Amino acid sequence: MGEQDPFLLRGPVGKAPASLNILILGGTGFTGPEQVEYALARGHRVTLFNRNKTRPGFFRGKVAEELVGDLNNDTSALKGRSFDVVLDNPTTFPAWVRNAAKYLSGNVKHYIFQSTTSVYSDQSIIGLDENSPVAQLPADVDPYTLDPQHASRYYGALKVKAEQEVAKQYAGIWTVVRPCLIVGPLDRTDRFTYWPARIDAGGEILAPDKPDDPCQFIDVRDLAEFSVRLAEARAFGTYNVIGPEKPLTIAEMLYGVKAVSATPGRFTWVPWEFLQEQKLRPWRDIPVWQPPYGRTAGYQRRSAAKAIAAGLTFRSLADTAKTTLDWHRTRPQAEQEATLRGAVNGLDMKREAEVLAAWHAKAKNG
């Protein structure tokens, strides 16, 4: 069975009060497929616009149309089209917003842009909300001519510029959603998937720093459904889309993931100071986790109060963990092995064993 069937199909979903004509920019990556399935289940008409390179034909026969183009240099397929709502998932550069607006501005009633909580300039602040200061590009960097290879360096600031371009092109009819770490099935970045995969492999598992360190993430299905419901409600403005609803510690997350695997395993908590000595990197080598002090003190303690008041709902950790693990087990064997090598994100199991051995030796010797 393909990944679409078991990991995108939902139980009964009530129909929306009115059917919307929705354009999804992208639609076949990570968030997009979840939006498509939920929007269709709610009774909406869905059109996709993308390069037809990621999962081509993934929704053939289900969506109304699949338009082919490129936000970077060819949006002509959008000419003469009109939509009730646009869901813009892939855009990083403001030029992409402008290129699409060449044909969409004046022809859509609502534009919903997926940004990121990485827009905030000071991640040491606890309780960052939608009004917190955002990152700025250096004065000598032009976001409209910047070489795409430098996108990761200025990611947050570029998203800010894209948000500003959205507000300019779609004045009064825009919504910005700022998700934190997006997790769940179909995520090949392994930024969360690493943990279900690693825990399911069993044995001694390196756990970061202290059990009560905070962590935040949002299930991709919760993000997708919230985006569609914002469209149905014509809710404008900016929303931090962050989960879970109540504070969660890294220990609660790890043991929650462990609960969905039958493989025996145990966690060994290793202080951040020692992990630094071993040159391990938060987020990259140790997914999800960031040091809860210093410049990242607020990274896992941002506020989603506004989105919750607007109807953001959350799946259980057990649901997220089990569905992610079930999906991971369907990946090609080479991808599963790459996850345990930390090929994309996460820690190679051999390196993990070395660090654990070094930690035990240090603890033994005092």
pLDDT per position as a tens digit, 5-39? 456 656 678 999 999 999 999 999 999 999 999 99
Distance CA 328, CA 320 (A): 12
Specify the pTM.
0.96
Distance CA 263, CA 228 (A): 37
Q: What are phi and psi of 317, to 5 degrees?
A: -60, -40
What confidence score (pLDDT) does residue 1 get?
Answer: 30
What confidence score (pLDDT) does residue 12 get?
Answer: 77
Distance CA 317, CA 47 (A): 32
Q: Which of 118, 121, 77 is nearest to 100 (CA)?
A: 77
Report the SS3 class of residue 19. Answer: coil
Do 3 and 330 meet the contact criterion of CB atoms below 8 Å apart?
A: yes
Q: Is the dihedral of CA 184, 187, 192, 194 positive or negative?
A: positive
Could you say which residues of the chain have pLDDT below 50?
Answer: 1-5
In the chain, at which residue ranges do the beta strands (DSSP E only) sit? 21-25, 45-50, 65-68, 85-88, 111-114, 174-179, 182-183, 203-208, 214-215, 218-219, 237-241, 248-249, 265-270
What confidence score (pLDDT) does residue 9 get?
Answer: 58
Distance CA 337, CA 320 (A): 21
H or E segment and range at residue 207: strand 203-208
What confidence score (pLDDT) does residue 6 get?
Answer: 56
At 221, list the tokens: 């299905």
Report the SS3 class of residue 50. Answer: strand
* CA 281 to mean position of chain CA atoms: 20
Please give the C-alpha separations between residue 89 and each of 92, 179, 285, 335, 347, in angstroms, as whole numbers.
Answer: 9, 11, 26, 25, 29
What confidence score (pLDDT) does residue 212 get?
Answer: 98
What confidence score (pLDDT) does residue 366 get?
Answer: 72
What confidence score (pLDDT) does residue 3 get?
Answer: 43
Do 88 and 114 meet the contact criterion of CB atoms below 8 Å apart?
A: yes
Distance CA 239, CA 167 (A): 14
Q: Which of 262, 266, 244, 267 is nearest to 319 (CA)?
A: 244
- Domains of the chain (ranges; CATH) run 4-357 (3.40.50.720)
